[in-house]
Structure 1
Amino acid sequence: MDKQELMISVEFFPPKTEEGMAKLREARTQLARLNPKFFSVTFGAGGSTRDRTLDTVLDIQAAGFEAAPHISCISSSKQEIRDLLQLYQQHDIKRLVALRGDIPSGEVSAGDFRYANELVEFIRQETGDHFHIEVAAYPEFHPEAASPAADLANFKSKVDAGANSAITQYFYNPDAYFYFRDECTRLGMDLPIVPGIMPIYNITQLARFSSVCGAEIPRWLRLRLQDYGDDLASLRALGLDVVTGVCEKLLAGGAPGLHFYTLNQSGIITTLAERLGLKAA
C-alpha cells in the first residue's frame, strides 16, 4: 500500500490543566506532520471526562483537523447517550470511537447498555449514517472474553451493528494481528482493522497498562526491559527498535494503517514515523 493511502491516526487524552492543554497542542503540531486522518480523544469511565473530551475535540477541530471523541456507554442511560450524540452533531463532529468502557470504581448500575454492539446499534438508530464509527478490536483477545471464539463473535456483533472500521488494542506480536484479521475475513467481516501502536516509555507504566487491558509483553522483551532498570535511554532505544520492527511487519503484511497511542507525547512517535517514512516533507 502506498504510504499516502495509509490510515494514520493519533490518540490523546483530555488534559486536566491549561499547562496540559498547551503540551497537547505542541504534541499535536508535531504529530500533524504525519498527516493523520484524525485525532481521537479518550473518554473517562462513566463519562467522567465528558466536558474535557469535548473541549479537546473542539480545540483540535479549531486547528483544522478532524477529531473523534471516544464515547463509552457503561453506566449511561439511553437519554444521556442521545444527548451526547446530539451535542456532537451540533458541533459537526463526524467520527466516533464507540466503546463499552470500564465500570467505574464503586458504580452500582451498569446503565442501559451492556456491550459496545448495543451502543453502535443505538448510534445508528439515533443518527443514521451521520457518524463514521470506530470500534475496538483485540488481536490477543479481550481479558474478559470466555474464549477466542466468543471474542470474535463479540467483535462481529459490533461490525454487524454498523461499525465502519476498527482500532486494535496494542500488541508486540504481529502474528496475533494477522491471525485475527484473517479470522475476521473468514467470518465475512470486511472493514479496515487498524493496529494500535504503543511506544515503550518505561517498563512500570507498560506493565500496568498491559495487566489491565490484557496485552502481552513477550517474555524476552519484558526481561530485557527490566534489566535496564533506571537506564531509560537504553530502554527506550530498545523499545523504539522493537516497535519499529512491529510496524514494519504490519505494513508489509497489509495492515491498512497505524493508530498511535501517544500519552500526549510526540517525541518517540515522531522518531518512529521518521524511521517508517511516514513523516510529511
Structure 2
Amino acid sequence: MTSVDPKIIDLLKTTKEGETPVSLEYFPPRTDEGVKNLKARMGRMKENLSPLFCDVTWGAGGSTADLSLELALHMQKCGYLANMHLTCTNMEKDGDPVAAVREALEKCIDGGIRNIVALRGDPPHGEDEWKAAEGGFTCALDLVKFIRSEFGDEFGIAVAGYPEGHPNAISEIKEGEEASLSEAELARCSHFDGKTYVCKDEDFKKEMDYLKEKVDAGADMIFTQMFFDIEVYKNFVKECREYGIDVPIVPGLMCINAYPGFKKMTKFCKTRVPKALEDKMDSMKDDPASVKAFGVEFGAEICQQLIDFGIDVLHFYTLNLEKVVYGITDALNITDNLVEKSDEKDANSMQAVGSAWARVGDKVKSIYGVGVVTDMRGNGEAVIEMQSWELAGGQKPTAYLQKGAYEKVF
C-alpha cells in the first residue's frame, strides 16, 4: 500500500525550538545518465542530511512534465517527503490543458504525494513571452484556486514570492532617475552592465496584492526567489506581515557553485548583488575551486543570519550538486564533516532539460563550429554569428539553426 505524505505546513508547526531543518531542490537532468546520477545523489543526500522535504522543478514551457512527476514519485518511494512543482505552461491532454493538470494531480494522489508548488511557469526555451494555453490557466492564482476547488484540502500548496519583485515587474531606471528612488526602491535595486534596475513601489504593491490573493485562495506557504542580500529577505517578510500575509516564508537559497552560473542567473533574474559580493566573485572568476569554497563561506554566513532571524527551514537550490550544501551544513554544525563525503565527478551530467536552448549572447556549438547567439526568433530558431571561421574582409558568417541543432558551451 502506498504511504501518504504529511503536509509540509503541518511539519513546520512541529519543529522543535533550536532545530533548523533543511530542504533541497533538484531539477530534471536532460540525459538518461544524468537522471541515473541524480537518483544516486538523492539517495546520498537523504541519508546524509535527512531533509525535511525535497522539491523537484517543472521545466520551462512544461518541458519536464513526465520526468518531474517520475522523479517526485521516485523521491516519495525512497522515503523523501516530495514537494512537486506544477505549472500552467504547455500542459495539455487531448487538447485540454485543465485535464492535463488534473491528471498530474491525480497521479500525485495515487503516489502518496500531498505537497505542490503552484506556479505560472516560464515560457518555453527560445521564447521570451509567456502565453496561456487556450482554455487553460492564466496564472498561479488560477492554479491554486483549481487545486482547492477540485481537491479541497488534500494538498499542501506553496507559491512563489519575489522579494525584489518578479523579473517581469523590474524595469530599467533611466539616467538621472536613481536620485528620485524611494528608500525601499534603493534597498532592492540591482546593477548590471552599467544600468540600474528596480521594481518600483507601485509595481511592488501590485506584486504584494497578487501574493496576498494567492494566499487567500488557499496557499499554505511561500518560497522565495533567490536573493543574496539578507536585508532584501527581511524587508520582504516585513512587507508580507504588514499585508496580512501570515504563512511561512521559506528563503530560497541559491548555492554559489561556479562564477558563470552565478553571473548568468543574477543577471537573468535581475537579482540584487551587494557590491562586496560582486567584487569578491569577480576577483575569483578564473579560479573555480576558490569560487566553490567561497560559496560555502558566503552561504553559511547568510544561513546563520536567517537562523538568527527565525526562519522555519533552510531551502537549498542545490543545482543538482552536493559539495557546497554539505560545506554550509558543516559550517553551521548541522552536520559533521559531510563535505569530505561529497562526490561531484558526475557534475557534467547535471544539465537541465532544455539547457541546450540558448539566449542572446550565449556561446554555442554546432556541426558548423562555435558561435555566439545574436538573436532568437519567435519559432525558436537561433541566429548565430560563427566565430570559428571568417569570410573575405574579416566578416563572420551567420548560421540560422533550429532547436536541437546547437547546444550551449559551458
> Distance in 2 between the 1:135 and 1:108 partners?
18
Whether 1:139 and 2:168 are equivalent positions in the alignment is: no
* Deviation of the 1:40 alpha carbon: 0.6
Structure 1 contact 198–261 (Cα < 8 Å) conserved: yes
Which among 192, 205, 210 is matched to residue 149 of structure 1?
Answer: 205
> Distance in 1 between the 2:130 and 2:297 partners?
44
Are the structure 2 counterparts of residues 183 and 201 from structure 1 closer, same or farther at C-alpha, using a change threshold of 3 Å? same
> Distance in 2 between the 1:120 and 1:7 partners?
26
Structure 1 contact 30–270 (Cα < 8 Å) conserved: no
Are the structure 2 counterparts of residues 227 and 159 from structure 1 closer, same or farther at C-alpha, using a change threshold of 3 Å? same
Q: Which residue of 1 aligns with 2:242?
A: 186
**Number of paired residues?**
280
> Distance in 1 between the 2:286 and 2:139 partners?
41
Q: Which residue of 2 aligns with 1:110?
A: 132
Q: Deviations over 1:14-70 (max 9, x none)?
A: 133342133223322332232212111011123211111111112211211111211
Structure 2 contact 119–160 (Cα < 8 Å) conserved: yes
The structure richer in helix per residue is 1
> Distance in 2 between the 1:214 and 1:154 partners?
20
Structure 2 contact 118–157 (Cα < 8 Å) conserved: yes
Structure 1 contact 100–114 (Cα < 8 Å) conserved: yes
- Return 253-262 or 221-230, whichever deviates more: 221-230
> Distance in 2 between the 1:7 and 1:108 partners?
35
Whether 1:59 and 2:74 are equivalent positions in the alignment is: yes
> Distance in 2 between the 1:132 and 1:211 partners?
32
The AA in structure 1 aligned to 2:122 is D
Q: Which residue of 2 aligns with 1:84?
A: 104
Q: Deviations over 1:175-212 (max 9, x none)?
A: 11111111111111111101011111112111111222
Structure 1 contact 75–113 (Cα < 8 Å) conserved: no
Q: Which residue of 1 aligns with 2:42?
A: 28
Q: Report matched runs for 1:67-82 at 5 Å.
A: 67-76=82-91, 77-82=97-102
Structure 1 contact 61–67 (Cα < 8 Å) conserved: yes
- Aligned-residue Cα RMSD (Å) equals 2.0
TM-score, normalised by the number of residues in structure 2: 0.65
> Distance in 2 between the 1:273 and 1:95 partners?
25
Secondary structure, aligned partner of 1:250: helix
Q: Which residue of 1 aligns with 2:357?
A: none
Q: Which residue of 1 aligns with 2:22?
A: 8
The AA in structure 1 aligned to 2:72 is V
Structure 2 contact 144–214 (Cα < 8 Å) conserved: yes
> Distance in 2 between the 1:188 and 1:2 partners?
25
Gaps of 5+ in 1: none
Q: Report matched runs for 1:115-130 at 5 Å.
A: 115-130=139-154
Greater relative contact order (Cα 8 A, min sep 6): structure 1 or 2?
Answer: 1
Structure 2 contact 237–249 (Cα < 8 Å) conserved: yes
* Deviation of the 1:83 alpha carbon: 1.8
- Return 104-113 or 91-100, whichever deviates more: 104-113
Are the structure 2 counterparts of residues 186 and 108 from structure 1 closer, same or farther at C-alpha, using a change threshold of 3 Å? closer
The AA in structure 1 aligned to 2:105 is L
* Deviation of the 1:108 alpha carbon: 8.1
Q: Which residue of 1 aligns with 2:314?
A: 258
Structure 2 contact 122–130 (Cα < 8 Å) conserved: no
> Distance in 2 between the 1:210 and 1:172 partners?
9
Q: Deviations over 1:112-159 (max 9, x none)?
A: 222211111111111111111111111121112262211111211111
Structure 1 contact 170–196 (Cα < 8 Å) conserved: yes
> Distance in 1 between the 2:61 and 2:230 partners?
32
Gaps of 5+ in 2: 1-15, 92-96, 170-201, 339-410
Structure with higher Rg: it is: 2
* Deviation of the 1:213 alpha carbon: 2.3
Secondary structure, aligned partner of 1:96: strand
Which among 115, 123, 137 is matched to residue 95 of structure 1?
Answer: 115
Q: Report matched runs for 1:153-232 at 5 Å.
A: 153-232=209-288
> Distance in 2 between the 1:57 and 1:37 partners?
15
> Distance in 2 between the 1:70 and 1:99 partners?
7
- Return 262-271 or 102-111, whichever deviates more: 102-111
The AA in structure 2 aligned to 1:118 is D
* Deviation of the 1:7 alpha carbon: 4.5
Identity across the alignment (%):
37
